Every structure is written in structure tokens, then in C-alpha cells.
Amino acid sequence: MLEDTIRVLAGDCTVVFDDAERSEYRGRVTTLVKPDNTVLVHDVDGYQPVAWLTRADSVSSDRSGGFSLVARKDDQTLRIATHDREGFTSYRGSPAGTPVGLCPTCDGMLIRASGVRCVDCGVRYALPADSDVREDRCECGLPRIRAERGLAFDVCLDRQCESLDDAVREAFDREWACPDCGDDLRILRRGGLIAGCENYPDCETGYVVPAGVVDGECSCGLPTFDTGTGRRCLDATCEELVESAVAD
């Protein structure tokens, strides 16, 4: 796919960077153009590029004769012109992440990087915040994940195969009462996973279900959660839990 392609340009080049000041370099360099239009010009010394432009607004190139490349961002311009072309090509690329097993679609490696994706076929799976990828497998061949949403749930990575929303709904739908009108709180998907009042739109009370496990009840009547950042009420703005903790 085009968005997963890294372009590589190599040769004896003149490199000109125009910013507040003009810098010019000449040498045998290799230029990388990443999918987000970041341009990096490397020589043989050290790890830092000779010149670079991060996430350029535009990148244009011309292969006639040798090659040339112009990248622009705001008032910055990076120009590269070849005197002796050694190569101009492109390679497939992907994010690099922690391996989590083989892809059941193509046997490529699945990695954890902005979710989970295959480095070969590119299939991608969203990963709930604060979830862990486990070693055990679903029957479909994908890894299972563990996510805490009131309880610790083990579900398939593919939400079409096994839904975290459905698991949370089965456990907590109508388990808690709305503190404003007394109707049941339903587990709903509205942007994120929320416990929202059944009496909507007459009552618009709703709370994001946090990452953590239920460990008790707040004095306001809502459940409390043990999260990675401490104990909190389902209502993130509630001060009752803070006050009761101080009193204890």
C-alpha cells in the first residue's frame, strides 16, 4: 500500500536547506522519505541526519536524468539534486512493535503498534486502552486480550469475533441506578463505552466506564473502581469518595 512505502534515494547529491538561514551540503548521501512525508538525509557519520524536514506539507520528486526532490513545510524548504545517481526505489514498510504471534490470515507476524497489525498483509485490529495481549488464542487463531472494565474480561482481539462491549454489557447493564432520576444505567457505546441513563434524552446522565475493576460503592451510590491511577468513583467529577477517604 502507498501509505506503507518508504522511498529511498541515493547518490552524490547537493542538499540545500532553506529556513531562517541557508545551509548547503555536498556528498554521497541516502535520503529516506517516510509515509508521513518526513524526509531524512543521511551521510556515513553518526546517527543524526545531515538535513531533515519533519512531516512536510508536500514532497515532490523528479527522476529524469538523475533525480531531484523538493520538500516544503511552512517557510522551510529542503532541496536535493543528484550529480551521480546510485538508486531511486521504494520498499514496503510498517511500524515496528512487540511481536504478539502469527497472523491467521497470512502467517505474517502480528505486532503491537498503535493497536495490533500484521507486518505482511497489513490487517489491523484496534486495541482497547490499557489492555494486555495474552499468549492464549481464540478459536479463530488470533490472540486473546485482557481488558478491565468493571471486571477483567478476556476476549478475542477481533471485536467482530468476540465483543468487549457485549461482555461488559452482560455483566453491568442495569446494575447501577442513575443518581439523578433513579432509572437504570445502561451500558452503551457513544464514542466510548459509557453507563448512560435509560431515560435519555429526558435525563442525559452518563459516565465513561473506566479501565479498572469495581471494588465497592461510593457514598454517592455509584460504584467505585480500582484503576491504575488509584481508586475513583464511576463519576469522575464526584467528590464524595475524596471526602470519605479524608474522613477515614
Residue 32 belongs to what domain range? 2-92
Per residue, what are the HEC states of 21-80? CEEEEEEEEEEEECCCCCEEEECCCCCCCCEEECCCCEEEEECCCCCEEEEEECCEEEEE
Domains in the chain: how many in total? Answer: 3
Note whether 20 and 83 are same-domain residues: yes
pLDDT of residue 2: 41
Domain C-terminal end among 146, 168, 190: 168
Among all chains, which residue has been given the C-alpha cell 490487517? 123
**Average pLDDT by consecutive 10-residue portion of the chain (248 residues)?**
78 94 95 95 95 96 85 96 91 91 92 92 89 93 95 95 95 95 94 92 94 94 93 91 47
pLDDT of residue 191: 83
Note whether 110 and 60 are same-domain residues: no
CB neighbours of residue 180 within 10 Å: 11
